[in-house]
Amino acid sequence: MSLSSLQLCLLFSSALFCLGLMAALSRSNTILVLLGVELMLNAANVNFIAFWRYGPNPEAATGVVFVLFAIAVAAAEAAVGLALVIAIYRHQKNIRLQEATRLKG
């Protein structure tokens, strides 16, 4: 059994996604959880590019445009998430997720 290039790309992206998932589930540092979510977003982008590259209609460039928009949204998400981390740090003087249990400071 030999894997095609598309399957290799998909395996790569799913491994990246699972790494991000494990990080988001296991770490208690808020920044690392956010970075795990970023890794999952990047895995989705890899999937878009792989299906654009090996899809039936690569001239349409839909995958590339979609990835550009996804990168823009991911940048906004990272900025807001890190601002939230700093706000949490100002309230409880650390960024452990287990201690962020209050809705109202």
DSSP state of 29: B
Rounded to a whole number of angstroms, the minimum distance from the CB of residue 28 to another protein is 7
46 binds another protein (CB under 8 A): yes
Query: What is the amino acid identity at position 65?
Result: V
Considering only residues 50 to 69 of the shown chain, the ones binding another protein according to CB under 8 A are 50, 52-56, 58-59, 61, 63-65, 67-69
29 binds another protein (CB under 8 A): yes
d(C-alpha 62, C-alpha 95), whole Å: 39
For residues 83 and 42, the answer to whether their CB atoms sit within 8 Å is no
3 binds another protein (CB under 8 A): yes
